[in-house]
Amino acid sequence: MTNTTSRRSFMQKTAIATTGLAFLSPSIVSAFTNNCPYEGYNPYADTKTDFRTVTLGEHVRVKGTIYNKKSLIPIADATVEVWHLSPNSTKFRHRGKLKTNEDGTYNFITDLPNKENAKMRRIYFKVSHKNTSYFTELLLVPITSSAYITSKHWEENQELGEKVLPVSKKLLNTTTINFNVSI
């Protein structure tokens, strides 16, 4: 007589093995171990350039160029991921992903972000090209229609010279900001 495994034992072992594979899958592991220094990042954001949900509210248009850190040549086809707090909310529902064009430029429009407690309004960025990724943030002051960078962004992008500082202007309900990054 041969020794056979019972159906119940087989099902238990199969369930355990399947669960183990699911938890060790690279896509699952990367979803829980991303190295983002900012809250609210979602690697599965939709590809889009218009994040607006409010028609008549305050809007922010951000455009700029992604440069190679060493050569200062604009990078075509770099991925720019963007997210921020939704207006009048504590949730990061405004997010998207876009690519730079052949000139290395990007452009998107969004609603004015909500403000976190004791912080300025911010838009977060993850810029990627080939195997390099860079996280940064853009700070906003809607009353003066001004945009600022952090000291970290200043230190890590000084090779851009005058292009490192954001330039903003307001027309009606839209503030346009030029924000450049090097990776």
Position 23 scores a pLDDT of: 57
Compute the average pLDDT of residues 4-13: 76
Residue that wins the pLDDT comparison between 11 and 167: 167
Structure tokens at 90: 């504590």
Distance CA 81, CA 96 (A): 6
Among 84, 60, 41, which residue's Cα sits nearest to residue 172? 60
pTM: 0.77
- Per DSSP, 149 falls in state E
Cβ 108 vs Cβ 49: under 8 Å: yes
Q: How far apart are the first and last CA of the chain?
A: 68
Q: Match 């609210």 to its residue by tokens.
A: 40
Position 32 scores a pLDDT of: 47
List, for residues 10-46, the tens digit of each pLDDT value: 778 777 777 665 555 444 444 444 578 888 888 888 8
